Amino acid sequence: MSGSQSIKTHKKQSEQRVPHVAAPKIKLHAQRVQQQEAAAAALEEREEVLEEQAEKKGKLPKIKIPEIGLKEKLSFRKESTASEKKTQDDDMEEDIFRLSTPRASGIWGLLFSRTFLFIILIVIQVLLWVGIYLWLQDKIRAFAALQWIFTLVMLVYLFTNQMDYSAKLTWMFLFALVPIPAAIFLLFTQTNFGHRTVRTRVQEMIAETKEELIQPPGVLKALEKDGGATDDLVRWMNRSGCFPAYAGSQTTYYPIGEEMFKSMIYELQRAERFIFLEYFILEEGYMWGSILEILLEKAAAGVEVRVMYDGMCEISTLPAGYWQKLRERGINAKAFAPVMPLLSSHYNYRDHRKIMVIDGKTAFTGGINLADEYINRKERFGHWKDTGLMVKGDAVPSFTLMFLQMWNIDEESPIFSEYLDNGGYEPPFRSGCVIPYCDCPLDDDKVGETVYMDILNRASTYVHIMTPYLILDGEMETALKYAAERGVDVKIILPGIPDKKLAYALAKSHYYSLRKSGVQIYEYTPGFVHAKSFVCDDVKAVVGTINLDYRSLYHHYECATYMYRTACVLDIEKDFQETLEKSQLVTDETVKQTGIFYVVVGAVLKVLAPLM
């Protein structure tokens, strides 16, 4: 059965099975075209105004919209060749707005970098602790007996702990190899050394805001009558946070980063009250420079602008104290969990979210960070396939709340309520049910993993997945296999060109077990898939930041949007089918061609996967 025939068949079956929830009878394709034409026309008008102003002033405008024609603005699907991309980069390099000079590359850049100093200081601390340990062995006769008592206590603790069983097996493996260091390391991670204050504060933020957003009346009852069990999922999710289900929102799906970037630019230019940005990766270049110029202009005009990025950026992509440069220019900025050269489990929990909120009316999320590879202006691992989502309407305050919960962790007097409205904005095209949600690594509810498993366990026809990584615990692997074994069409698209060879090796270690149960695995031939999406039975989908790996499911702050019967669910499935056509099915033959490196490394690292 072809992709288009499959979509039509699934749609017909789902419409017969379950009624729509708050979904007006409208022509979805015509609406989408009207929206795109309106956005393109507005961009054209904006460019003309800027050009007229520039001519009067005798200089080019400071804010630049990517120079593409109307047809490309409505399509966004054309892929540039390598030569075209290089020419474009060379032409635009002088137009990139930066606050700092690019990092030096090569060995000398590394030796004189903050990263190198950080590594040296960490190594010194580790050697210091090793030295103390060896000194105690010589000075205290009963030290060996104390070590074994301590190890036994930690083993008992491990068995009674509520951690995932795959993680327990990993710890048992370490205990068998190096019992004393493993026991000390387990104690270090479980006591949240250097992290207790943040943990307490995060839990306070969640508890204080649990009632900030009210569940719109009638939505849960409509979902209950619908019979799709989405109401049960919403009730469970709200045990650990504030995640209302909304029926008055409009969702727009973006199958590529370039398309979403243009919508970001357009929406940012219309901001009047506030702009909130929270991103895992922020790197100076064309994408961030274009956005930053608008942020500076808006801040100067009185719009409240806040930017928060993960502190690991100051090791990998940004200079130290970059947030100070932003503050000097009128943007309230901070780095989440900035990395310091001190041993702490605090660094294990990163802010992996991608959130942009504008005036409480519009929100963006998905896998797209603010760096040039996400819009294919810089090539790293072939073509960068990423996806995103724009939400308008009553669901947007949920993203605002997620942002404010993280922002206010280190604020003495947090303010929430004055930002938690959508200004009375009602989008013209509303359909289905939208549930924005987030996941915190510091509680016992693994929201991200549970939502994925709920989709797998309730699927009747298909579950189609795109993820950059496949590092599974036992529960998730069982859910994938069980869905396939009971006849559900389970397909997973992974990168064809990996960004991390070790993670790629771990993904391949799951191929045999999953394929044996009927899960079909594909690799995206043109390059790297960074999308994180589930789509199921033409009625439900998730687009967000949550990968199928331990880091996302257990150790990162994440966010996503669950959609039920929204207009764009079919767009997500259509994009999956189009991506499938560019991907290669993993077969017995392709598995045999796997290099010895991936086979050996995957087998070895699978034991340590929960710690990666």
Token pair, residue 286, equals: 């064309």
Residue 523, C-beta contacts closer than 8 angstroms, at least 6 positions apart: 493, 494, 495, 496, 583, 584, 586
Specify whether the CB–CB gap between 275 and 306 falls below 8 A: yes
Same domain, yes or no, for 313 and 422? yes
Tell whether 176 is covered by a domain.
yes
Q: What is the pLDDT of residue 115?
A: 54
Q: What is the pLDDT of residue 466?
A: 98
Least confident of 98-107, 184-193, 600-609: 98-107
- pTM reported for the whole predicted model: 0.80
pLDDT band at residue 576 under the 50/70/90 scheme:
very high
Whose CA is closest to 459, among 488, 482, 481?
488
Same domain, yes or no, for 288 and 416? yes
Cα–Cα distance measured from residue 130 to residue 107, given in angstroms and rounded to the nearest whole number: 29
pLDDT band at residue 327 under the 50/70/90 scheme:
very high
Running DSSP on this structure, what letter comes out for residue 176? H
Q: What is the pLDDT of residue 34?
A: 54
pLDDT band at residue 106 under the 50/70/90 scheme:
low
Token pair, residue 294, equals: 């608008």
Res. 64: pLDDT tops 90: no
Q: How much of the chain is in helix, strand and coil states, percent to nearest 5?
A: 50, 15, 35
H-state helical runs in 468-581: 474-485, 501-508, 511-516, 550, 569-580
Q: What percent of the chain has pLDDT over 90?
A: 52
- Average pLDDT of the residues of the chain: 82
Least confident of 71-80, 367-376, 432-441: 71-80
Same domain, yes or no, for 103 and 175? no
Residue 314 sits at the vertex; the CA angle it makes with 309 and 317, to the nearest 5 degrees, is 90
Which of 384, 411, 437 terminates a domain? The answer is 437
Tell whether 586 is covered by a domain.
no
Same domain, yes or no, for 10 and 85? yes
pLDDT band at residue 343 under the 50/70/90 scheme:
low
Same domain, yes or no, for 115 and 37? no
How many other CB atoms are there within 10 angstroms of residue 226's CB atom? Answer: 19
Torsion sign (Cα): 294, 297, 299, 302: negative
Give the domain extent around 357. 1-107+194-437
pLDDT band at residue 180 under the 50/70/90 scheme:
confident
Specify whether the CB–CB gap between 374 and 515 falls below 8 A: no
Res. 54: pLDDT tops 70: no
Cα–Cα distance measured from residue 251 to residue 512, given in angstroms and rounded to the nearest whole number: 37
Which of 193, 212, 231 terminates a domain? The answer is 193
Phi, psi angles (nearest 5°) of residue 446: -85, 80
> Which of 151 and 553 is assigned the larger pLDDT?
553
Same domain, yes or no, for 303 and 335? yes
- Which runs of E-coded beta strand occur in 169-288? 249-254, 274-279
The CATH number of whichever domain residue 264 belongs to comes to 3.30.870.10
pLDDT tens digit sequence for 426-454: 888 888 999 999 999 888 789 999 999 99
Q: What is the pLDDT of residue 341?
A: 57
| pLDDT mean over 100-113 | 58
Same domain, yes or no, for 223 and 355? yes
* Residue written as token pair 């603790």: 157
Same domain, yes or no, for 28 and 120? no
Q: What is the pLDDT of residue 18?
A: 37
Q: What is the pLDDT of residue 412?
A: 87
Res. 561: pLDDT tops 50: yes
H-state helical runs in 408-550: 447-458, 474-485, 501-508, 511-516, 550
Cα–Cα distance measured from residue 338 to residue 584, given in angstroms and rounded to the nearest whole number: 40
Q: What percent of the chain has pLDDT over 70?
A: 77
* Residue written as token pair 């033959």: 589
Same domain, yes or no, for 323 and 347? yes
Res. 35: pLDDT tops 60: no
Tell whether 447 is covered by a domain.
no
Least confident of 150-154, 228-232, 258-262, 303-307: 150-154
| pLDDT mean over 65-92 | 40
pLDDT band at residue 402 under the 50/70/90 scheme:
very high
Cα–Cα distance measured from residue 510 to residue 518, given in angstroms and rounded to the nearest whole number: 13
pLDDT tens digit sequence for 274-296: 999 999 999 999 999 999 999 99
Give whichever of 81-95, 157-171, 315-329 has the largest mean pLDDT: 315-329
Distance of CA 133 to the CA centre of its chain: 40
Tell whether 487 is covered by a domain.
no
Residue 247 sits at the vertex; the CA angle it makes with 246 and 250, to the nearest 5 degrees, is 95
Same domain, yes or no, for 273 and 386? yes
| pLDDT mean over 378-405 | 97
Residue 282 sits at the vertex; the CA angle it makes with 279 and 287, to the nearest 5 degrees, is 110
Torsion angle, alpha carbons of 589, 593, 598, 599, to 10: 60
pLDDT band at residue 5 under the 50/70/90 scheme:
very low
Tell whether 569 is covered by a domain.
no
List beta partners, residue 362: 358, 392
Tally the domains of the chain. 2
Q: What is the pLDDT of residue 1?
A: 46
Tell whether 425 is covered by a domain.
yes
| pLDDT mean over 403-432 | 89
Q: What is the pLDDT of residue 405?
A: 95
Same domain, yes or no, for 214 and 160? no
Which of 193, 221, 252 terminates a domain? The answer is 193
Cα–Cα distance measured from residue 530 to residue 495, given in angstroms and rounded to the nearest whole number: 8
pLDDT band at residue 7 under the 50/70/90 scheme:
very low
Tell whether 529 is covered by a domain.
no
pLDDT tens digit sequence for 220-260: 999 999 988 899 999 999 988 899 999 999 999 999 999 99
Residue 367, C-beta contacts closer than 8 angstroms, at least 6 positions apart: 354, 374, 386, 387, 388, 468, 530, 531, 532, 544, 545
Q: What is the pLDDT of residue 149?
A: 82
| pLDDT mean over 165-177 | 80
Same domain, yes or no, for 53 and 165? no
Specify whether the CB–CB gap between 64 and 91 falls below 8 A: no
Tell whether 464 is covered by a domain.
no
* Residue written as token pair 């331990």: 550
pLDDT band at residue 41 under the 50/70/90 scheme:
low
Running DSSP on this structure, what letter comes out for residue 22? S
Cα–Cα distance measured from residue 100 to residue 97, given in angstroms and rounded to the nearest whole number: 9
Q: What is the pLDDT of residue 346?
A: 58
Cα–Cα distance measured from residue 603 to residue 553, given in angstroms and rounded to the nearest whole number: 21
